[in-house]
Amino acid sequence: MQPVYKRVLIKISGEALSGSKGTGFDFAFVSEVCKKVKECTQLGSQVAIVIGGGNFWRGVKDGAGKVERVSADKMGMLATAMNCLAVADVFKQCGAEARILTAVDIQGVGERHDAKKAVEYLENGKVVLFACGTGQPFFSTDTGAALRAAEIGADAILLAKNIDGVYSADPKKDPSAYRFDEISYSEVLERRLAVMDSTATSLAMDNNIPVIVFALAEPENIVRVLCGEKIGTTVK
């Protein structure tokens, strides 16, 4: 197989790392994901990753009106750093090198984010894990993913989710919902479809970075998408 993308950013939800448990980690699954990412690097592609924090903390939702938005978002940033630490160690066990770059200073957790340093690591075959989103409250890790993708000049954002693409409505609630093979950024925004938040979608659109949405339930899908197989939904 030959990759069609030289450099990609993979966005993985925190919940996806927890498997059926809903919280924490399903390390058997995380290992499979890391092995497939390593395979992508062995094919010659450069891979950066942004991981959400929902397996530990869902921000305002988990704050239940008791934690202010800014504090809730900062807690979410810490959750993403925890995920990056765990995944970096799994990469090490899989025989792949990973580097953590953080959007806020957390001594001993990772290096302070620097786009040039990230590109240097990528060009040297290392997987780069971006922690702490944008480093600012009121922005999701989706927006962090789109921002980092633009900064490193990624050819595409691979949006690995618990659903196999973009649907016209929630397929769990609407049996008539259908999946798009391809859709434009503007239609996603106009129809308010659940792909990424509007800020992230606009950022990807403004920088002309295609977003491929696919199911992570089968980690092999990462390699399939990288090599141009038409699965899931392409937003461009």
Structure confidence at residue 21 as a pLDDT band (50, 70, 90)? confident
pTM above 0.85, yes or no: yes
Beta strands in 52-168 (DSSP E): 98-102, 111-112, 127-131, 156-161, 166-167
Structure confidence at residue 75 as a pLDDT band (50, 70, 90)? very high
Amino acid in position 176: S
Name 202's Cβ contacts closer than 8 Å, sequence gap at least 6: 185, 189
Look at residue 23 and tell me whether its pLDDT is greater than 90. Answer: no
Which domains are delineated in the chain? 7-112+126-138+148-187+196-235 (3.40.1160.10)
What per-residue confidence (pLDDT) applies to 63? 76
Where do we find the tokens 């995920």? 83
**What's the pLDDT tens digit per position in 202-225?**
999 999 999 999 999 999 999 999
Give 12's strand partners.
51, 160
Name 135's Cβ contacts closer than 8 Å, sequence gap at least 6: 77, 102, 103, 104, 113
Structure confidence at residue 180 as a pLDDT band (50, 70, 90)? very high
- Spatial distance between the Cα atoms of 164 and 162, rounded to a whole number of angstroms: 7
What per-residue confidence (pLDDT) applies to 113? 97
What per-residue confidence (pLDDT) applies to 58? 80
**What's the pLDDT tens digit per position in 187-196?**
999 999 978 9
